[in-house]
Structure 1
Amino acid sequence: MSEAPDIATAWRWLLERKPGTRGAAHDALTVVVEAAYAEPRLRSLYPFPTHGTLHFLRGAPPWNEPGHDGLPFILYGGPPYKVYSSGYAELLGEAATPAEAAALAVAHLPEQVVTESGE
């Protein structure tokens, strides 16, 4: 399974459920992706679904540099939808809807999140 080459393509492939895209076959992921995409700060990050979670990375692959991760992520499959800090270090909260989970993730982003595109 290849990864999307950039942030915009990663979101488009997930939203369109492009065959072969990581997580595209999971209905529970789709509603979380749609809610996260509606949040401009999350939309500026690379969406990376893995093991029942939707992570937000600072840039597209290859991930050779440290610091590409380290942001909050959403455990989908709810409700409730759980939002954790990086590495499951802390449960940041639970939400009844995907939109509330996305807003909770945004609320726990660092003040300025710089992506590889400089946004």
Structure 2
Amino acid sequence: MTEETTVEKAWRLLLEGGPSARRGNAAVIEAAYAEPRLRVLFPFLSHGCLTFHRNSQFPWSGGLPFIAGGAPCTVYAPSYSSVLGKGLMPEKAAALVVANLPLDCGPAFDRPWPPPDSHAD
């Protein structure tokens, strides 16, 4: 049996709604988890939003679209820069996030942002 990764554990806790998990809309969490490209990213719930990150340790990457609300949902571009879609059911919202991910996005790595091979100062 393989050991659970940080990303897998985060998703499991969200899906199970365990005592150590943040609370969110179950339908949104399930719809996002059903998308293979989202399932490999680190999920984080805060202020009614399900965000996705390229890494699993603070500081998180940010810079990816995310889902706000329940059903209906709103999908925002990174940093609330624009609305990508609103009035969406969770499955459509998750699909819209996937459609707006960078091609090179995922899987998340288990360290702080930025990635070790970046040239960020």
TM category, shorter:
0.7 to 0.9
Larger-Rg structure: 2
Q: Distance in 2 between matches of 1:90 and 1:96?
A: 15
Show structure 1 runs of 5+ residues with no match.
Answer: none
Q: Does 1:30 align with 2:26?
A: yes
- 1:39 maps to 35
The two structures have a TM-score, normalised by structure 1, of: 0.81
Which of the numbers 55, 67, 82 marks the counterpart of 1:59?
55
Deviations 1:24-61 (A, max 9, x none): xx4xx111000000000000101100001000011112
1:78 aligns with 2:71: yes
1:89-104 equivalent positions in 2, closer than 5 A: 89-104=81-96
Identity between Structure 1 and Structure 2 (%): 46
1:6–1:59 Cα contact (<8 Å) kept? no
RMSD over aligned CA atoms reads: 1.9
Paired residues, number: 106
Alpha-carbon offset, residue 95 of structure 1: 4.5
- TM-score under structure 2 length normalisation: 0.80
